[in-house]
Structure 1
Amino acid sequence: MADAIFWNKVADKYADTPIANESIYQQKLAITDKYLTEQSEILEFGCGTGSTALIHAPKVNSYTALDISTRMIEIANEKLQQTPQSNLTFIESTLENWQQAHPDTSYDVVLGLNVLHLMADYRQVISQSFEVLKPGGYFITSSVCFDRFSWLNIALPVMKLVGKAPHVEKFTAEQLMQAMLDAGFDLAQEWEPSPNSQQSFLVMQRPKHT
């Protein structure tokens, strides 16, 4: 898998890179917290080196965090050894493979943070997220939207050609929202860090009677 190789190569540098905007990150954490309880069963895909999982896990019953990169998961487990949490598990897997291996498992909250635009088929991943949620559960996602990030439309093909970027799926905020609604989700909350934000932070809910 070409993108797994890419993320393996950059994992250590990624782990050492400071968060670009700490205040925005803290606000995303705070919004997410509103949808977590001590009984929550959480699934996160594209967890990277596990920083967000380690923050949220103490607040919930169980937390399963997935990533396609072997090295990302290794770093996440190194962090977990430093701050052990028995309810948190890091696993090398795609969302699709995990769903196929655990067809009868469902979750209260699914997190896909800064990752949908890195998927080969973001619509399929949104549908898979819907399927693994319990009725009434929440899908929380932060995504780069290309109607707000136009310079990358030029830069990314060149960067990918020379091995400096992974696959990136380009969609607008409107297209992302429509894909969510088409999958069956209802909008629970939407937040933009600023009017010219590069990201769309969404909390989508699976209806309670589906």
Structure 2
Amino acid sequence: MTSDARFWNKIAAKYAKSPIRDEAAYRYTLERTRSYLKDGDTVAELGCGTGSTAIEFAPAVSRMVATDLSSAMLDVGKERAWDAGASNIEFHCAPAEQIPDGPYDAILAHNLLHLLPNTDEVLQSVAAALRPGGLFISKTPCLGEARGSLKYYLFKIAIPLMQLVGKAPSNVEFTRIADLEAAIQKAGFEIIETGNYPVDVPSRYLVARKRA
């Protein structure tokens, strides 16, 4: 078990009870994402956590595959899916680069990419698992956009201290929007929609289509 799996397992129960920080931004990105999904779609969500987003989208698609490296998070997700009657969700314990057999019409990654040490590898796996023309939809806190501000320096000080005492995962990237978009394009995607929800510090919402 990796150190990050242990971290997320340890906080799963507390995480499941935590309120969404920006409900309006979360709901807006759910609506935008749902607008791209169709009844017959097979969809995967990477880093699904406790399953809340997968459960939201399950009624809109044919098959939902939800993965996370934390078995404790998935246990909460399975219980929530049962309670919601979301019988078309399959939960898999796996790191983001190990995507269960597709192909998929869409792959989602919300609040995940900034926590990965191997983003390029994961994006390559996403491209390989999608059908031609399939969609990759992500939302990524871009902490690097605060560079030069007081908030940026507070992040730079606070995050390593939190990691030292086990209050943050081992990898947190200070992602810049331009770098994120370049990585997605390099993996074989055309970006077709962007937005920042919330704006400060930007959480970059991206919809990208796999090139044929």
Q: TM-score, normalised by structure 1?
A: 0.92
Q: Aligned-pair distance for 1:147?
A: 2.4
Letter in 1 for 2:156: N
- For 1:97 and 1:179, the matched residues in 2 are separated by 19
Letter in 2 for 1:164: K
Aligned residues: 204
Letter in 1 for 2:191: L
Matched residue, 1:139: 136
Matched residue, 2:9: 8
Distance 1:194 1:169, change over 3 A: closer
- For 1:98 and 1:184, the matched residues in 2 are separated by 17
1:79 maps onto 2:80 in alignment: yes
Matched residue, 1:98: 99
Deviations 1:15-37 (A, max 9, x none): 00011111111100010011100
Q: Aligned-pair distance for 1:85?
A: 2.1
1:180 maps onto 2:188 in alignment: no
- For 1:132 and 1:40, the matched residues in 2 are separated by 14
Q: Which runs of 5+ in 1 are unaligned?
A: none
Deviations 1:31-63 (A, max 9, x none): 001110001100111000000111100110100
Query: What is the identity percentage for the equivalent residue pairs of Structure 1 and Structure 2?
Result: 36
Letter in 2 for 1:199: S
- DSSP 3-state at the match of 2:33: helix
Contact 2:106–2:135 under 8 Å retained in 1: yes
- For 2:198 and 2:98, the matched residues in 1 are separated by 36
Q: Aligned-pair distance for 1:195?
A: 4.6
- For 1:159 and 1:129, the matched residues in 2 are separated by 30
Distance 1:194 1:3, change over 3 A: closer
Instruction: From 171, 190, 206, give the equivalent of 2:175.
Output: 171
Distance 1:118 1:194, change over 3 A: closer
- DSSP 3-state at the match of 2:145: coil
- For 1:160 and 1:205, the matched residues in 2 are separated by 35
Deviations 1:66-110 (A, max 9, x none): 0110110000011112122221111211233335xx3xx210000
Matched residue, 1:152: 155
Matched residue, 1:196: 200
- DSSP 3-state at the match of 1:37: coil
Q: Aligned-pair distance for 1:2?
A: 0.2
Contact 2:39–2:61 under 8 Å retained in 1: yes
Contact 1:44–1:111 under 8 Å retained in 2: yes
- DSSP 3-state at the match of 2:82: helix
Q: Which runs of 5+ in 2 are unaligned?
A: 147-151
Distance 1:160 1:36, change over 3 A: same
Root-mean-square deviation (CA, aligned residues, Å) is 1.3
Contact 1:122–1:169 under 8 Å retained in 2: no
User: After the TM superposition, which segments of 4 or more aligned residues of structure 1 sit over 3 Å from their partners?
Assistant: 194-197
